[in-house]
Amino acid sequence: MKTLFEKIIAREIPATFVYEDELCVAFRDINPCAPMHLLLVPRKPLVQLSSATAEDQALLGHLMLTATKVAAQEGLGEAYRLVVNNGAAAGMSVPHLHLHLIGGRPLKWPPA
Ligand code: 5GP
């Protein structure tokens, strides 16, 4: 069965895409927690970060570097936050690895 994000990637569910390449896509979060809240999602449906193996090393690096590229593209400058929730108890609700790219306002720390 496809994950929600696989359905979005397949355009079966609408989303506002801002970037895509052969390995990943980025689209706007449906419930943004800041003026800019994007989700960066690998096409490969890894359940979560802890599901990744050495085989995914290049993909994980690609996601990080793509996040910087998308942040620049979206005008976030040098101020933004990347979040990966791993596991339901850590706030993960969609079981398909994704990076939250958040910015557009001052961000406090700690986040929770
Ligand atoms: P998680 O809680 O798993 O780290 O993040 C899942 C994110 O997906 C949440 O921020 C939530 O708002 C977002 N989300 C859930 N359903 C949809 C949807 O159908 N479309 C979009 N664009 N975002 C979604």
Residue-wise pLDDT for 66-99, tens only, equals 999 999 999 998 999 999 999 999 999 999 999 9
Does position 112 have pLDDT exceeding 70, yes or no?
no
Q: What is the pLDDT of residue 1?
A: 87
Q: What is the pLDDT of residue 111?
A: 83
* Pocket flag, ligand 1, residue 86 (CB < 6 Å): no
Phi, psi (rounded to 5 degrees) for 8? -65, -45
How many other C-beta atoms lie within 10 A of the C-beta of residue 27? 20
Q: Which residues are catalytic?
A: 98
96 CA distance to ligand 1 middle (Å): 10
d(CA 73, CA 56): 25
Q: What is the pLDDT of residue 104?
A: 95
* Pocket flag, ligand 1, residue 30 (CB < 6 Å): yes
Quick: pLDDT tens for 13-64: 999 999 999 999 999 999 999 999 999 999 999 999 999 999 999 999 999 9
Q: What is the pLDDT of residue 12?
A: 98
By the 8 A CB rule, do 29 and 37 touch?
yes
Distance of CA 27 to the CA centre of its chain: 8
Please give, one letter per residue, the 3-state secondary structure of 20-57.
ECCCEEEEECCCCCCCEEEEEEECCCCCCHHHCCHHHH
CA distances from 4 to 25, 61, 75, 89, 110 (A): 14, 23, 28, 19, 29
CATH class of the domain comprising 4-103 = alpha beta
104 three-state secondary structure: coil
* Pocket flag, ligand 1, residue 93 (CB < 6 Å): yes
